[in-house]
């Protein structure tokens, strides 16, 4: 899919300078060459889940897996793998001009809030792809809603490539998205942490702090 490549290349191009500063030119050159190889392999074998409410989230999978597999092959430690995944995501998110991010966040959540109940209905009818997400939608008013995710499509595809090590680092990215796009978000459980679900709670026009230095013990 074109979206797979767009996400991957934006992350690679926009993070290049920061990677050189953090990890050196030689590591960055080796990372780029190895990652390109993995991305071609993974993207070709990633099933298309169709027009799902989670299609955009799922489209990050080939990039995440390629970056993770590359970092492991290059002997990168776990902390630096986490930082790499966060760096790539930050560069992708900040490709959106700052003056437009709040509007993007509102549009995204409003659209998601409308489509999530239909997704849940399709689940009950057995019409969602086997690599798609399974959810329970929790309406809480015009600006608040919740989603309990009981099957994560990213975990499903990551398992195929022995790349479950991207978790729970990529779970934390939701807090980064919340801060940059001005969305209210909180979660105390994730499948990536071994819990029974991801209990996501959203507020349109709310507040969220990325702040990884504060840790993720009570927010996952």
For residue range 146-167, list pLDDT tens digits in order. Answer: 999 999 999 999 999 999 999 9
Percent of all residues in the chain with a pLDDT value above 70, rounded to a whole number: 100
Supply the pLDDT for residue 216.
95
Q: Where are the beta strands (DSSP E) in the chain?
A: 134-139, 144-151, 184-186, 198-203
Region 75-87: mean pLDDT is 97
For residue range 40-64, list pLDDT tens digits in order. Answer: 999 999 999 999 999 999 999 999 9
Query: Is 72 within 8 Å of 165 (Cβ atoms)?
Result: yes
Query: Is 157 within 8 Å of 46 (Cβ atoms)?
Result: yes
pLDDT at 1 over 80: no
Supply the pLDDT for residue 107.
95
For residue range 206-215, list pLDDT tens digits in order. Answer: 999 999 999 9
Q: Which residues contact 144 (CB under 8 A, 6 or more apart)?
A: 184, 201, 202, 203, 204
Query: Is 80 within 8 Å of 23 (Cβ atoms)?
Result: yes
Which H or E run includes 192?
none
Three-state DSSP at 210 gives: coil
For residue range 159-193, list pLDDT tens digits in order. Answer: 999 999 999 999 999 999 999 999 999 999 999 99
Which H or E run includes 189?
none
Calculate helix-pair angle for 2-23, 25-45, nearest 10 degrees. Answer: 160
Average pLDDT over the chain, rounded to an integer: 97
* Residue whose C-alpha is closest to residue 66's, from 44, 50, 90: 44
The gap between the terminal CA atoms of the chain, to the nearest Å, is: 30
Distance CA 65, CA 113 (A): 28
pLDDT at 142 over 90: no
Query: Is 133 within 8 Å of 192 (Cβ atoms)?
Result: no
Three-state DSSP at 142 gives: coil
């Amino acid at each position: 899919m074109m979206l797979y490549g767009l996400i991957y290349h934006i992350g690679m191009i926009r993070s290049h300078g920061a990677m050189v500063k953090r990890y050196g030119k030689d590591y960055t050159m080796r990372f780029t060459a190895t990652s390109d190889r993995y991305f071609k392999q993974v993207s070709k074998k990633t099933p298309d889940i169709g027009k799902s409410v989670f299609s955009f989230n799922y489209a990050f999978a080939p990039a995440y897996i390629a970056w993770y597999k590359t970092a492991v092959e290059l002997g990168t430690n776990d902390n630096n793998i986490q930082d790499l995944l966060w760096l790539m995501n930050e560069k992708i998110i900040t490709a959106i001009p700052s003056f437009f991010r709040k509007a993007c966040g509102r549009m995204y959540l409003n659209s998601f809030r409308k489509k999530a109940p239909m997704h849940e209905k399709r689940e009950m009818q057995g019409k969602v792809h086997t690599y798609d997400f399974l959810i329970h939608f929790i309406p809480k008013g015009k600006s608040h809603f919740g989603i309990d995710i009981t099957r994560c499509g990213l975990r499903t595809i990551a398992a195929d490539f022995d790349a479950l090590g991207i978790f729970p680092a990529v779970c934390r990215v939701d807090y980064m998205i919340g801060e940059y796009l001005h969305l209210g978000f909180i979660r105390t459980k994730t499948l990536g942490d071994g819990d029974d679900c991801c209990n996501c709670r959203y507020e349109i026009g709310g507040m969220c702090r990325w702040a990884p230095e504060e840790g993720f013990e009570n927010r996952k």
